[in-house]
């Protein structure tokens, strides 16, 4: 277990969330926060990827076909 330094107001907010949510400890709250943060990052990247596909007028299937070709070429070189 590790200790981290956080401002007092953040500590109070975490304790408040723990009590409101019926969590056993603050670590559970932090795990949920980290999960939600990673999820948000993934969704933001997904949106950027979709925008890029639309901008380049490509579909996801086109990308998969291109990547399959590249994988086959690499496999032919190596094996």
**Residue range of the domain that includes 69:** 8-78
User: Has residue 42 been placed in a domain?
Assistant: yes
Model pLDDT, residue 15? 95
Please state the domain count of the chain: 1
User: Has residue 3 been placed in a domain?
Assistant: no
User: Has residue 18 been placed in a domain?
Assistant: yes
pTM: 0.68
User: Has residue 1 been placed in a domain?
Assistant: no
Model pLDDT, residue 40? 97
User: Has residue 24 been placed in a domain?
Assistant: yes
Model pLDDT, residue 46? 94
User: Has residue 12 been placed in a domain?
Assistant: yes
Q: Where are the beta strands (DSSP E) in 1-57?
A: none
Tens place of pLDDT for every residue, the chain, 79 residues?
889 999 999 999 999 999 999 999 999 999 999 999 999 999 999 999 999 999 989 898 998 888 998 899 999 888 8
65: left (phi over 0), alpha (psi -120 to 50) or beta: alpha
Model pLDDT, residue 79? 81
């Amino acid at each position: 277990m590790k200790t981290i330094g956080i401002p007092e107001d953040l500590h109070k907010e975490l304790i408040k969330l723990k009590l409101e949510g019926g969590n056993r400890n603050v670590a559970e709250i932090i795990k949920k926060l980290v999960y939600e943060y990673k999820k948000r990052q993934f969704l933001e990247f997904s949106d950027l990827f979709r925008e890029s596909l639309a901008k380049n007028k490509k579909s996801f299937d086109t990308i998969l076909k291109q990547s399959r070709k590249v994988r086959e070429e690499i496999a032919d070189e190596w094996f």
